[in-house]
Chain A
Amino acid sequence: QQQVKQSPQSLIVQKGGISIINCAYENTAFDYFPWYQQFPGKGPALLIAIRPDVSEKKEGRFTISFNKSAKQFSLHIMDSQPGDSATYFCAATKYSGGGADGLTFGKGTHLIIQP
């Protein structure tokens, strides 16, 4: 049972373009949705996160859009740069539980930004 579905599996974007990665979740108990970024040879690191009380959160060039009724959320990378080339994972957990049960991850998106 895949509780967080992520697409696309891979994505190629030209430098300066907008990268968009989508996720959908099934468990309505989830109320915290982070995105993690992973570079080769490194563990994933938190990029940005959102709770369902807002529909959008922006940090620099990175924006999460959240649609509670559709149970979907997406990551937008504006003005994509070669340094953004990495694997991106969406995730979900129960914020009220402090995330103590762990994060449920999507399968990941391998993003390549072409110069």
Chain B
Amino acid sequence: DVKVTQSSRYLVKRTGEKVFLECVQDMDHENMFWYRQDPGLGLRLIYFSYDVKMKEKGDIPEGYSVSREKKERFSLILESASTNQTSMYLCASWDSLNTEAFFGQGTRLTVV
């Protein structure tokens, strides 16, 4: 079974803090993604990566950055957290052979 693990289920951070969300996959997939999920807005793509040290902006990259130093790990960074970044964050790993995304369980981030 493909496993995508997000390091935290729940996080509470203060405005202005630097926040790291970690994601690890165990299937040697090249492509990984970060989405945020908000009620009524669905899943929106923040950033994605198709190789180590490579990154591409998604639809809503403002206020975020990413890091991919190893193939299995993809980190989302909030440089200076703001209250409008309170959301559910979902990491996904992409199986290009079977055209399927595998999601982690999500990190619910609250910025106060």
Residues of A in contact with B (beta carbons under 8 Å apart): 6, 9, 32, 34, 36, 41-46, 49, 89, 95, 98-108
B40 in contact with A107 (CB, 8 Å): yes
Residues of B near A104 (CB, < 8 A) are 45
A108 in contact with B48 (CB, 8 Å): no
Give the number of residue pairs across the A-B interface with Cβ within 8 Å.
66
Q: Decide if B33 is an interface residue (CB 8 Å cutoff).
A: yes
Residues of A near B33 (CB, < 8 A) are 102
Which B residues between 3 and 48 are near A, CB-CB below 8 angstroms?
4, 30-31, 33, 35, 40-45, 48
B50 in contact with A105 (CB, 8 Å): no
> What CA separation (Å) do A105 and B56 show in the bound complex?
18
Q: Decide if B112 is an interface residue (CB 8 Å cutoff).
A: no
A98 in contact with B106 (CB, 8 Å): no
Q: Which of A36, A41, A100 is the one whose CB lies under 8 Å from B96?
A: A100
Residues of A near B41 (CB, < 8 A) are 107
**Majority SS at the chain B contact face:** strand
Residues of B near A45 (CB, < 8 A) are 102-103
A46 in contact with B42 (CB, 8 Å): no
A105 in contact with B99 (CB, 8 Å): no
**8 further interface pairs, Cβ-Cβ under 8 Å (given A99-B96, A100-B50):** A34-B99, A34-B100, A43-B105, A45-B103, A99-B31, A99-B94, A102-B94, A108-B42
B42 in contact with A106 (CB, 8 Å): yes
> What CA separation (Å) do A72 and B41 show in the bound complex?
20
B58 in contact with A102 (CB, 8 Å): yes
9 A-B pairs with CB atoms under 8 Å apart are A43-B4, A45-B102, A49-B99, A89-B42, A95-B99, A100-B94, A105-B42, A105-B44, A106-B42
Which B residues between 70 and 108 are near A, CB-CB below 8 angstroms?
90, 92, 94, 96, 99-106
B45 in contact with A102 (CB, 8 Å): yes
Residues of B near A98 (CB, < 8 A) are 31, 94, 96, 99
- Nearest to A95 among chain B residues (CB) is B99
